Each structure stands twice: as C-alpha cells, then as structure tokens.
C-alpha cells in the first residue's frame, strides 16, 4: 500500500468529489418512471400521512375545534412546505361543498376527505392499466381494437412526444376532407390489384 500525503490527498479527494457529483447528478434527469408520475393519483395530497395532516391542522386551528374552508389552502401550505395546486384544492372543496363557508371542519372530517380523494384518484388511475394479460394485449393488437380509455383519460400530461399533438385541444366538429378518386384512377387501381400492369 502506498501512503498518500499532502497535495496528493487533496487531489484524490477532488477526484472522488467529481465522480460522486456526476453520479448523484443523474437524479436531475427526472423521475424514475414517467408513467407512474403521470398517473392521476400522483399528487401531493396522497404523498403525506395522517399524522402530518393532523400536525398541520393543529397549527392552523390553534385552540379552536376546527378550521373554515378558507383555511384549507393555508393548512396544505404548512403540510407541503409549498403552495398547493388548484386541482388539489378543487378536489377537497368539492367534497366539502355540503358545508357552509363559515362552518367548522373538524380534523377527522378533513382526513376523511383526504382519504376519499385518494380513493377516487386510485380508481381513476386504474384506467392506465388497460391489460392484465399478454394474450389480451396481443389479440387487441391483432384485431386492431381501440383502447377503452384515451391517453388523456389515463394520464395527467402527455407521456410520449407523439401524445403532445392534440392533447389539450377540444373536440371540435372540423371539416373533413375525404380522399376522392376519379373513375380513371379507380379503374387503374383495380387493374394493378388484379395483376394486369399498364
């Protein structure tokens, strides 16, 4: 074994630091699975457990028994440590629409809403898994059957570059331009199909 002294030690440490920083820089490329990140259930509401929501609820409610609807965004901001998405707030407010704006929401009611949102998103995310059998998948490809759910019904955002086209467009009754061939062209096509070349 060779002993490393002085400047050689610093040089060796720098080399190790460069190697380790390049290795750990790989996480900047994005998530491990784009498919799981694109699922509807992959939102911040489902990423935290009940204890974290209870702690945030106690911070917002203070000595009171509950919070108002207007304080939900503040509660989520405390739990997440960043502002919540509008989509997440909409999920919760839809479940709590039976309550008046000034009516108190208890901690148990709030956590039940979080669980209800998670269950609803779990059901919606199951649509992303179209097949459970390879034979079913092969038969669908062979018979050229359409999928039950469109990609926009299965994922929050386009997963592939090809899905970006038309992802956000609304279905509009556009003008169709069908292919029309004249009689001579149809006759020539029939001649080519029959094997008589011109």
pLDDT in tens, the chain (198 residues): 444 444 455 555 556 655 555 555 544 555 566 666 666 666 777 778 888 888 888 888 888 788 888 888 888 888 888 888 787 888 888 888 888 878 888 888 888 888 888 888 777 777 777 888 889 989 988 888 888 888 877 777 788 888 888 777 666 566 777 788 899 888 888 888 888 765
pTM: 0.53
N-term to C-term CA, the chain: 84
Q: CA-to-CA distance for 124 and 40, rounded, in angstroms?
A: 7
Pull the structure tokens for residue 49. Answer: 């457990």
């Amino acid at each position: 074994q060779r002993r490393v002294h002085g400047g050689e030690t610093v040089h060796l440490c720098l080399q190790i630091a460069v190697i380790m920083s390049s290795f750990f820089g790989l996480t900047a490329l994005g998530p491990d699975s784009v498919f799981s990140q694109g699922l509807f259930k992959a939102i911040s509401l489902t990423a935290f457990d009940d204890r974290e929501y209870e702690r945030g609820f106690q911070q917002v409610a203070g000595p009171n028994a509950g919070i108002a609807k207007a304080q939900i965004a503040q509660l989520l901001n405390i739990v997440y440590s960043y502002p919540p998405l509008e989509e997440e707030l909409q999920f919760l407010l839809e479940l709590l629409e039976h309550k008046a704006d000034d009516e108190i929401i208890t901690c148990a009611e709030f956590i039940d809403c979080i669980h209800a949102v998670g269950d609803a998103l779990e059901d919606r995310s199951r649509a992303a898994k179209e097949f459970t059998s390879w034979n079913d998948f092969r038969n669908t490809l062979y018979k050229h059957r359409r999928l039950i759910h469109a990609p926009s019904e299965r994922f929050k955002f386009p997963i592939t570059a090809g899905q970006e086209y038309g992802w956000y467009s609304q279905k509009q009754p556009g003008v169709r331009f069908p292919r029309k061939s004249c009689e001579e062209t149809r006759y020539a096509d029939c001649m080519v199909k029959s094997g008589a070349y011109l």
